[in-house]
Amino acid sequence: MTEIWRLSATELAQNIRNRKISAREAAQAALSRLEAVNPAINAVVDYRAEDVLAQADAVDLSVTRGEELGPLAGVPVTVKVNVDQEGLATTNGTRLQAENIAAADSPVVTNLRRAGAVILGRTNTPAFSLRWFTDNQIHGATKNPRDPSRTPGGSSGGAAASVAAGIGHLAHGTDIAGSIRYPAYACGVHGLRPSLGRVAAYNASGPERPIGPQLTGVSGPIGRTIADLRLGLAAMSGFDPRDPWWVPAPLEFPDQPRRAALVRRPGGLEIVPEVEEALVDAAARLRDADWEVVELDDIPAIEEAAELQARLWIGESFAPWEAMAAQDGDPGAIGTIAGLKAFLNGRVSAELYAQALVRRATIIRDYQLLLHKHPVLLLPVSAELPFPDHLDRTDFPRVWRAQLTQVGLALTGLPALAVSTAQVGRTTTGVQLLAGRFREDLLLAAGAVLEAGGTPPSPVDPAF
């Protein structure tokens, strides 16, 4: 019999629903796996075993009573340490928030619980969730379970590493510049950045987010299968009155012709051969499944979109960021702020911030017009294979340039999916899909086709 922790979230939920596996058995298996492999990768930085088992027992009681079960009933799920979970610290990877104890769950945690998920533990993030590498002064470094010399990605590095190593069956992540898509790519799993307004967000433990992050930062699922992402999205996207941006959009739309456009080098991006091979292979997989695939030279204003996204992320001044990073003392955060300052030539202001918000509307319109003609775009996740760990500390410009599509596409608020499709030695590669607003169903349909053509084996034992 397959070990419980190896089952997909979808398989486990069905087994619990059919009473073939109890929620307590699933929780015990998840805790045993966590205790066996987490010391090597440091993906989960806070968990309470007694609480995990109590959550599972509550699910089993509902099963016994014949009560209606949520879609994730009894499934162990991890939550990133930058969202509120009642009674635990929302550290966001910084010592400055070590005692920032949440008085209530964030909407995404509320919705996961409502769906019956068992919250297994809190996953690591870089300080202030700033980097594509996961290390900080409070929780330490997270390692990629496939290859410790490579980054696990960031900022949801702990989330992706946990799923890849079989710690939990589904993970919550957040994404403002690739923080779901890149860790999934780096760890050889799949990650969905939903549309703005799809998944409700709010952290009562902290101040209201500035308008830039409100418009560009989202929560979404990371999983080992496309079916699990579908299940996770449905669970996470429930209504919550605390988020004024939430939209009651359907998860499925009427069928339409399956059309995609391949863009190998958006913005003139110089991609490595392995990335190009993954793109060509993905296009072939879609064509074999009767998708119409054409090739385009470029997408709208991706370099400008990345610059505007950086401006909306930073805000009107570097000073608050520099002060926080200096106070925390995290070298990665300090270096990232310096790198962003150099990228923007030190030029940020209220006027430039306002101009970015205005220009954003034009760029979104251009993407929506393109996606009206080509409903799915096939793009690189990154120009390179997953980076050597901490490469940004020595070559920030190279790292930033390689991540052009992750940063720029976040500006649009459109949904994007990273699908892991191949393994190159000990590391992994894959592709990124983009669709129109709230058309996650198209992404998941295309993603299922790509997945059917083969993915890296998962979950894995840490390779060290």
Q: Rounded CA gap, 187 and 120, in Å? A: 20
- Per the CB < 8 A criterion, the answer to whether 240 and 256 are in contact is no
The whole-chain average pLDDT of the chain stands at 98
Phi, psi angles (nearest 5°) of residue 150 = -105, 150
The residues, any chain, with a CB within 8 Å of residue 182's CB and separated by 6 or more, are 132, 153, 154, 381, 382, 403, 406, 418
Q: Rounded CA gap, 208 and 90, in Å? A: 14
pLDDT in tens, 142-194: 999 999 999 999 999 999 999 999 999 999 999 999 999 999 999 999 999 99
pLDDT in tens, 392-408: 999 999 999 999 999 99
Catalytic residue among 179, 195, 205, 420: 179
Proportion of the chain above pLDDT 70, given as a percent: 100
Q: Which residue has the tokens 């220009």?
A: 359
Q: Return the bridge partners of 76, or none.
A: 118
Catalytic residue among 8, 80, 143, 205: 80
Pick the residue with more confidence: 255 or 311? 311
Which fold, 4-452? Amidase signature (AS) enzymes (3.90.1300)
Proportion of the chain above pLDDT 90, given as a percent: 98
User: In this model, does residue 464 exceed pLDDT 90?
Assistant: no
User: In this model, does residue 245 exceed pLDDT 90?
Assistant: yes
Q: Active site includes 382?
A: no
**Dihedral angle over CA of 441, 446, 449, 451, nearest 10:** -90
**Would you kindly state where each structural domain of the chain is located, as residue ranges?**
4-452
Q: What is the pLDDT of residue 84?
A: 98
The average pLDDT across 301-327 equals 97
Q: Rounded CA gap, 231 and 238, in Å? A: 12
Q: Active site includes 155?
A: yes
pLDDT band at 1 (very low <50, low <70, confident <90, very high): low
Q: Rounded CA gap, 385 and 372, in Å? A: 31
Closest-CA residue to 228 (of 195, 189, 259): 189
The average pLDDT across 58-80 equals 97
Q: What is the pLDDT of residue 300?
A: 98
Q: Which residue has the tokens 């926080």?
A: 324
The average pLDDT across 126-131 equals 98
Catalytic residue among 8, 22, 155, 458: 155
User: In this model, does residue 256 exceed pLDDT 90?
Assistant: no
The average pLDDT across 246-262 equals 95
The average pLDDT across 51-59 equals 98
Q: What is the pLDDT of residue 234?
A: 98
pLDDT band at 320 (very low <50, low <70, confident <90, very high): very high
Q: What is the pLDDT of residue 463?
A: 76
Q: What is the pLDDT of residue 5?
A: 98
Q: Active site includes 149?
A: no
The average pLDDT across 62-73 equals 96
pLDDT in tens, 328-348: 999 999 999 999 999 999 999
Closest-CA residue to 182 (of 416, 393, 10, 449): 416
The average pLDDT across 107-114 equals 98
The average pLDDT across 229-239 equals 98
